[in-house]
A and B are shown apart, each in its own frame.
Chain A
Amino acid sequence: IAGITQAPTSQILAAGRRMTLRCTQDMRHNAMYWYRQDLGLGLRLIHYSNTAGTTGKGEVPDGYSVSRANTDDFPLTLASAVPSQTSVYFCASSERGDTHQAFFGQGTRLTVV
């Protein structure tokens, strides 16, 4: 089934641990994004990539890193998790960085304790 897949679906993580959230798309989209969604706030962009081999910082990049080795995969790494990183994380992709329709993964619910 074509689309965008995230793993894991949910995770409880001890503070200070390192964690990588996985994201894979099979639509051959050039642009990919990581957002976090917190209650009462809009989706906030963490990092993005307009094409394989390039990445950029979004609104809230601190404490997170990404890589884009190929078109399909865009993992998000928390180097040393803190409780404020408790959130729902969504990966998304679009044909290009300036196209309007983004497709979202099902989300990863992360709790840092």
Chain B
Amino acid sequence: GQNIDQPTEMTATEGAIVQINCTYQTSGFNGLFWYQQHAGEAPTFLSYNVLDGLEEKGRFSSFLSRSKGYSYLLLKELQMKDSASYLCAVMDSNYQLIWGAGTKLIIKP
């Protein structure tokens, strides 16, 4: 079966760095995505990786290793507004998105 694993919840301090991991087992691979979802709101797109390596976008970076079925989202200089759930999703061979359950990130002052 297809499976996306990510931690349920993480806590970090304002101004610090946090890394949210995601491992996956899917039927084929056409890219890995990270979305941010604030409580009660819609998911919004953060990043897309299809090749191995690190993609940097401001305070957020996303890493992919296809051979290990592994990705992480790195958030630097954490701000209170970064408190949200972070969703990892993989596009399988049928171009369907398979979603993880999300990691709830709590930022403390």
| Chain A interface residues toward B at CB < 8 A | 40-45, 48, 58, 90, 97-98, 100-107
Interface set of B (CB-CB < 8 Å, partner A): 4, 30-31, 33, 41-45, 48, 87, 89, 91, 95-102
**Chain A-chain B contacts (Cβ-Cβ < 8 Å), number:** 44
Chain A residues, Cβ within 8 Å of B33 = 100
| A100 x B48 contact (CB < 8 A) | yes
- Chain A residues with Cβ below 8 Å from B98 are 42
Question: B91's closest neighbor in chain A, by CB?
Answer: A100
User: In whole angstroms, how far apart are the Cα atoms of A97 and B93 in the complex?
Assistant: 12
Q: Of A42, A45, A102, A104, which contacts B101 at CB under 8 A?
A: A42
CB distance from B20 to the nearest CB of A (A): 14
- Asked whether, in the complex, the Cβ of A90 is within 8 Å of the Cβ of B96, the reply is no
